[in-house]
Structure 1
Amino acid sequence: MSLDAILTRIDAQLPDAMDRLKDLLRIPSISTDPAFKQPTDKAADWLVADLQSLGIKAEKRPTTGHPMVVGHVDGPKGGTGPHLLFYGHYDVQPVDPLDLWKTDPFDPQIEDTPAGKVIRGRGASDDKGQLMTFVEACRAYKHVTGEMPCRITFFFEGEEESGSPSLIPFMKENAQELQADLALICDTSMVAPGVPSIASQLRGMMKDEFTIHGPRIDLHSGHYGGPALNPLREISRLIASFHDDTGRVAVDGFYDGVQEVPAELLRQWESCGFDEKEYLSSVGFTQAHGEEGYSTLVQQWARPTLEINGLWGGYQGAGTKTVIPAEAHCKLTCRLVDDMDPDALRVKIRKHVEDRLSPDARVTWNDDLDGSPAAKMNIDRPEFEAARQALSDEWNREAVFNAMGGSIPIAGFFKEILSLDSMLIGFAQEDDAIHSPNEKYNVESFHKGIRSWARVLDRLSR
């Protein structure tokens, strides 16, 4: 009976919830730009005040960068439910290029679109709208029952969009306070419109950068063209050797630690409503160009990659300069899955390059780059199936355990620092234009996201 009343309350109070979201979206909390330090701090204050209005013991906690917001609230007296930690981030990406925005990015507007109503503004989807779905679910619980469904710790970060420099030190210093039974993260999307999703795995990341050195100085191509080693030609040959003709990475040992997708998970992926044609055509492709023998979804979610992110050298100004450059440069990243070790992989890639260097060519590497392993969620825990059923009830469609091609480092940090499993549930859509001009969040995602969290909290608290 209480859940029905809570859902009714959410429906009735949606306009007020939208107004609160608009208030938060109006604060330009761009964490990467020092010019927005004060607004970012203001966003933290706004969240503290909002949590305190719900009877949550919340405060703004200083760091060497932007503050964290931490709040604690007990569940029902005598309750035996879990202790949940909910994470979101209140900072946003810069809005450049501003001239491509249809509206002021910090004056959120409700718009009618062919897909329904959306709220447009920076942070609407990433991550303020998602964060507030959970807070609004808790607000409805408090109004109807007078208490929260279980013990909850709220943990809001202000630097996620600028590399989280203060996050790990803060978590280590406050590890005891942040202990919980399960972490909930709301910074993810639905695999397809109307298909509720729980992320079961995230790809990791390995970054590297190298420079190929050839002649001592740039050379006149008339004097040395022919006998000279050209670093641009050398680096092109090396890059071409990274993959074979089937799209498979040709670095020895690259696939160590990679596993095939379990059959039941693959079944869910194949029936999740993913539109491969739309996914590819939306960025101008007619077909997938990845590793042969794997579907587009499997390529994106469960296979590792080696991508060239930047390649440069020689003259790049107007006109022509007949030069053989002394250096050529390459930036690369690898997306990692399963048990791949980023440090071991870096060694293998470097060996691949160094073993293939031509005489008179040498390579130097940037040793100031990091990596992080893939993250797999412990979906065998009963909470995951309970949450999946709750989402299925709300969306009238089987919720799926999906995967994500990108990385969400916080899930790995929770495991590494707090020994805490994470459950990732989000309601963003692939067309939300996060990090881009005209970011939006579907009003349905916001509304049903609140209702979904209410159902999940109800199931987890039983």
Structure 2
Amino acid sequence: MTSSDTDPRLEPVLDRIDQQMDAALERLQALIRIPSISTDPAHKADCQQAAEWLAEELRGIGFEDAAPRPTPGHPMVMGTAGTGERHLLFYGHYDVQPVDPLDLWDRPPFEPEIKDGPRGKIITGRGSSDDKGQLMTFVEACRAWVAVHGSLPVKVTMFFEGEEESGSPSLIPFLEENREALTADVAMICDTDLFQGERPAITTMLRGLLGEEVTITGPNRDLHSGMFGGAVINPIRVLSKVIAGLHDDEGRITVPGFYDGVPEVPEHIAAQWAELGFREAEFLGDVGVSVPAGEQDRSALEMLWSRPTCEVNGISGGYEGAGFKTVLPSKASAKISFRLVGDQDPHAIRENFRAYVQSVLPADCSVSFAEHGASKASVMSTQNPAFELARQALSDEWPKEAAFTGTGGSIPVAGYFNTILGMDAMLIGFAREDNLIHSPNEKYDLDSFQHGVRSWARILAALSRES
């Protein structure tokens, strides 16, 4: 017997969601039509409009205090409704990426359309998946609960950001200033994918990120390689040695102390991963490769979710134009990023990396560094009963059982909820990898939207029963 079979409150809510799906899609299209591009000052008024639209929608379903809250940038939207012992914080973002190049779109990006897609009906438009479609799954679940039962089964605070796609410059100060109002038992974030497009997942591991830019200087100006080559140190050769020494022959990273704080995956999580059916050959083949390049004693899925990385993201030096120029360059630089896991300390790794570079630097060369961010990994405690209740609720809705998963990317807001507000976050999303987020012709599957709304209704029921 599934959890939904035991809760008489849930079935009429699910029926309401299905019956009102056309109206829900009309509301989503209305939100997509607002060109809330946060990074472009020309769309400041559009971001304000999107915030006001959302606040009005929330007030209409019982979040009476919902309103745009000003920041130095674009407004946050906040509102609280419902009662109960358990308090949930829901986060999403209403801002979207720029739409360039426009000529690659099949239709104007802010004129959404419902049409046939590869798996069924889809809704198109910038923000349809990232994150307006995802955000609205939770809003519509709350709408159905209130329509059927008159109120929500738990206390819920909505928190919508308007600067996620432009670096979230106002987020940390806002969290600190509104700590009391935003702190809940657990946060929920809808900005992730179904695993391989078919299995619901709760992301519980997010890698941190450290960025470093290294510039090595040799001679005081660019030189003629025929007149000076061999006698004068070449910074590109030095930089190449630095980069080559960052990994050993087994794919392990050689920076001293790098693996301090790197845990092994818990057995129950590893068992779930083993049952996911990750298609490693397909994953690699899609990008034209066939052999995993990281730590040789780890699977590709482990490398993506639970192991740290060191990657060179860009190199520059010497002549990079068309044709050929026999130059011995004065400078060479590289941008290097580290994805971090567990309890790795980004600041200690930065110091150790810089010490490593200094240790291999030859005479007549100097080095300078530029920081590009430093954030720790976020690891959620699945011992919190809410996580297993949510996993079971998702499993009731989808054909395949839900799993706790990781992600190779970094979602800073989840870490901020932990470090600033002191609570874990459940990352539950219904997007698919081919939704083309940040690209022309972004789309969202209608079954992702409908099952997403129903999933949140089930989660609300499950968490209210336990509270």
Please give the range of the TM-score, normalised by the shorter of the 2 chains: over 0.9
Q: Percent identity?
A: 56
Which residue in the other structure is 2:423 paired with? 420
Q: Which amino acid aligns with 2:75?
A: P
Q: Secondary structure at the match of 2:396?
A: helix
Q: Which runs of 5+ in 1 are unaligned?
A: none
In 1: Cα distance, 2:333 partner to 2:70 partner: 40
2:386 equivalent among 367, 383, 386: 383
Query: In 2 relative to 1, CA 37–411 (structure 1 residues): closer, same or farther, beyond 3 Å?
Result: same
TM-score relative to the length of structure 1: 0.97
Matched, 1:223 2:227: yes
Tell me if 1:312 matches 2:323.
Answer: no
Q: Which moved more, 1:313-322 or 1:144-153?
A: 313-322
Is residue 213 of structure 1 aligned with residue 220 of structure 2? no
**Deviation at residue 284 of structure 1 after TM alignment:** 2.1
Alpha-carbon distance, 1:55 to partner? 1.9
Structure 1 residue 428: Cα displacement: 1.1
Matches within 5 A, 1:107-118: 107-118=111-122
- Indicate the residue corresponding to 1:456 in structure 2: 459
Which aligned pairs between 1:370-449 and structure 2 lie closer than 5 A? 370-449=373-452
Match 1:154 to one of 158, 163, 180: 158
Please give the alpha-carbon distance, in whole angstroms, between the structure 1 residues aligned to 2:186 and 2:361.
Answer: 49
What does residue range 32-181 of structure 1 map to in structure 2 within 5 Å?
32-56=39-63, 57-75=65-83, 80-181=84-185
Write the letter of the residue equivalent to 1:377. M
Letter in 2 for 1:459: A
Aligned amino acid, residue 256 of structure 1: D
Q: Is the 8 A contact 1:195 1:273 kept in 2?
A: no
Task: Please provide the CA RMSD for this pair.
Answer: 1.2
Q: Which 10-residue stretch deviates more, 143-152 or 60-69? A: 143-152
1:293 matched to 2:312? The reply is no
Q: CA deviation at 1:278?
A: 2.5
Match of 1:328 in 2: 332
Query: How far is the alpha carbon of 1:81 from its aligned partner?
Result: 3.6
- Residue deviations 1:160-194 (CA, integer Å, cap 9, x gap): 11110001111111111112111111111121222
The amino acid across from 1:380 in the alignment is Q
User: 1:191-245 CA distances to partner (integer Å, 9 max, x unpaired)?
Assistant: 1222110011110011111100010111011210121111112111111111112
Secondary structure of the 2:198 match is coil
Matched with 2:366 is 362
What is the Cα deviation at residue 447 of structure 1?
0.5
Where does structure 2 lack aligned partners over 5 or more consecutive residues?
1-7
Asked whether the 8 Å contact 2:197–2:431 carries over to 1, the reply is no
- Contact 1:81–1:460 under 8 Å retained in 2: no
Letter in 2 for 1:20: R
1:393-429 Cα shifts (integer Å, max 9, x gaps): 1113211000111111111111111112211111111
Q: Deviations over 1:89-126 (max 9, x none)?
A: 10111112222222221111223123222212111111
SS of equivalent residue, structure 2 residue 419: helix
Please tell me whether the aligned partners of residues 295 and 303 of structure 2 are also in contact (alpha carbons under 8 angstroms): yes
Corresponding residue SS for 1:184 = strand
- Report the secondary structure of 1:461's partner residue: helix
Give the aligned length.
457
Aligned counterparts of 1:281 and 1:213: Cα–Cα separation in 2: 39
Instruction: Tell me which residue corresponds to 1:2.
Output: 9
Distance 1:126 1:285 in 2: 28
* Kept in 2: contact 1:205–1:373 (CA 8 A): yes
Partner deviation per Cα, 1:292-347 (whole Å, 9 max, x = no partner) = 11111110000000011111011222222221110011111100000100000001
| Whole-angstrom distance in 2 between the partners of 1:96 and 1:270 | 40
1:196 corresponds, among 191, 196, 200, to: 200
- Check the 8 A contact 1:375/1:412 in 2, yes or no: yes
Distance in 2 between residues matched to 1:285 and 1:145, nearest whole Å: 53
Q: Matched residue of 2:239: which SS? A: helix
Q: Secondary structure at the match of 2:180?
A: coil
Secondary structure of the corresponding residue to residue 452 of structure 1: helix
Residue of structure 1 equivalent to 2:5 = none
Indicate if the aligned counterparts of 1:192 and 1:272 stay in contact, CA closer than 8 A.
no
- Matched ranges for 1:329-348 at <5 A: 329-348=333-352
Cα drift, residue 2 of structure 1: 2.2
CA deviation digits over 1:121-143, x for unaligned, max 9? Answer: 11111111110000000000011
CA–CA distance in 2 between the matches of 1:326 and 1:41?
Answer: 48
Q: Which amino acid aligns with 2:233?
A: L
Structure 2 contact 218–331 (Cα < 8 Å) conserved: yes
For residues 170 and 193 of structure 1, the distance between their equivalents in structure 2, rounded to whole angstroms, comes to 34
**Conserved in 1, the CA contact under 8 Å of 2:75 and 2:162?**
yes
8 Å contact 2:206–2:411 — kept in the other structure? yes
Aligned residue for 1:24? 31
